[in-house]
With several copies, the nearest count.
Chain A
């Protein structure tokens, strides 16, 4: 989905604030929220990591930007556990004594699973182009590289295809690649010659750059 989470290259954001001697968790609830996701993933097995990422992306855009990292984290976990029928929103709100905002529902069942390839289609040095496909579901091809041309710099392992797995469907493993893009190809005159961005992409995101 072209969601608010896909922040790469967005303008209008200010300074990065670095906290000195930052603790791992700032408050107790952050640690509990962290743990509840581990519970949902590893113990309850109510959802997989791709569904979790997609649930974060499905937060209301205004909520996404206003919330801290662990509030987004909690909201995704709570949303999935409500969607999967493990808990009800009514119970959460009764216990919390107020509103518990959840993610918006998924609007698609996800991409159809492509037929697995027998072998990696691309090799190091191959010139590729990122397909300018669109989905309202989960994907990991950032908007800023869609339609852009790059070069494969590493053939990485195969992994579950997020576009399918993110919707809880049975997903194939698919080859991934690190693809290097010239900054000048991504950002026109802003990109400095020689500077590059490397993005990790699944094979079905790519086509040969003819």
Chain B
């Protein structure tokens, strides 16, 4: 692959994928409608809106927050999230003195059920290479400038445990409903590369 004097031009990627789907289908190995059905949750049930609801509940219900930090899976189940893809989940509580952020340096593991399938930036070699080594510089580039007084704690998803950051609740949201709060919680904040902001 490394010698462009012998270019081994590959078929277009869409044609390669079609080829595999066609071969498996013609061999009778693809149940009718399977590919549509199996992938539908990726654009529907697996959504960062789930994590946002969990965050909003934790912001408004101190008892729930305590349960969430103690046993993330059980607390998510309370809201109806069964976490079928996550066998172990840990919720990382941001405070005024500790900021958490999540990465997977070796592939791109994430808590699909709470955060959705990961975005391209999370899967990029740039993010995977840099976050563990130069978190402050990278987060600053991404718009999050952390003060010196805050300790940065990066979680590398190298095993089977999955993580979600519980961001700081922004000022100016006193009295907001859970729904209002959930609407401002972004996937970026739950990965730890952004703050939750108002307006």
Contact = CB atoms under 8 A, between A and B. Distances in A.
A and B touch in the complex (CB under 8 A): yes
A8 interface: yes
Which range contains the number of B residues in contact with the other chain? 35 or more
Contact of B35 (A39, A77, A154): A39
7 contacts: A13-B126, A16-B141, A32-B35, A39-B30, A95-B22, A144-B105, A178-B90
Contact of B153 (A31, A100, A195): A195
A144 B132 contact: yes
B108 A200 contact: no
Interface of A: 5-19, 22, 24-29, 31-36, 38-39, 42-44, 53, 56-57, 60-63, 65-69, 71, 74, 77-78, 81, 86-87, 91-101, 140-142, 144, 154, 156-157, 159, 176, 178, 180, 183, 186-187, 190, 192, 194-202
Contacts of B90: 154, 156, 178
Contact of B154 (A14, A29, A97, A196): A196
Contacts of A61: 1, 125
B151 interface: yes
B35 A141 contact: no
Interface string B115-158: 01101110111111110111110100110000000011111111
A37 B98 CA distance: 38
B156 A36 contact: no
B106 A100 contact: no
A102 B44 CA distance: 31
B3 interface: yes
Given A17-B3, A35-B39, 19 more contacts: A6-B105, A7-B106, A16-B121, A18-B142, A24-B116, A26-B5, A31-B42, A43-B34, A66-B1, A67-B4, A68-B120, A74-B13, A78-B20, A91-B19, A95-B22, A96-B16, A141-B158, A186-B133, A196-B152
Interface in B15-46: 15-24, 27, 29-31, 34-36, 38-39, 42-43
A202 B129 CA distance: 22
Nearest to A46: B29
B180 interface: no
A98 B116 contact: no
Contact of B151 (A17, A67, A195): A195
B171 interface: no
Contacts of A62: 1-2, 125
B107 interface: yes
Contacts of A57: 106
A156 B35 CA distance: 34
Contacts of B136: 192, 195
Contacts of A12: 129
A17 B123 CA distance: 11
A25 B132 CA distance: 27
Given A63-B1, A96-B19, A154-B90, A16 B127 contact: yes
